[in-house]
Amino acid sequence: MNFSQIYNTGYEVIFVAFSGIILAQTVKFILHIIMKRSLDLRHLITTGGMPSSHSAGVMGLSTTVGLIRGFDSIEFAIALGYAFIVMYDAAGVRRAAGKQAACLNKIIMDLYKQDLQEAGGRLKELLGHTPLQVFVGAIFGIIYAYYIHIFLSKLV
């Protein structure tokens, strides 16, 4: 199967969603290298940070569904509803859980005098996103979906 065969199909939706996530994670990784001046390969697979790869993926998926089925279709409405839930979770629930983890880590460090292993190890703090990170990820996904759709249309 070549790229022209996925145009206007469910394969295009899947391709945009997953490649959008991978591209956003790559951008996040590169931004981390530039900002922190350090190479940490874990940033290729971790959650949190700028831009939100979850938001990029679901908004890319939604936009592609809209381009193929129409922005007034039921499929687009379902995809957009799904995207809003994922983005709300990233900026709300997961971010709050990350803040709680930071507080618990501080409490544990105070109680166990810097020995986190005795308490079961350090909790992951970077779980969610700021609203700006979610917004940038969403815009990234929309633009990426349009770009791929136009690119594939030229191959047909």
* Helix (H) / strand (E) containing 61: helix 53-69
Neighbours of 93 (CB within 10 A): 12
pLDDT tens for each residue of 23-63: 999 998 888 888 878 787 776 677 767 788 899 999 999 99
Residues 6+ apart with CB under 8 A from 111: 119
The domain ranges of the chain are 3-84+131-155, 93-127
- Can you give the pTM of this predicted structure? 0.79
pLDDT digits (tens, 9 = 90+) for 127-152: 566 888 889 999 999 999 999 999 99
DSSP result, 89-147: HHHTHHHHHHHHHHHHHHHHHHHHTT-GGGGT-PPP---S--HHHHHHHHHHHHHHHHH
Higher pLDDT, 91 or 125: 91
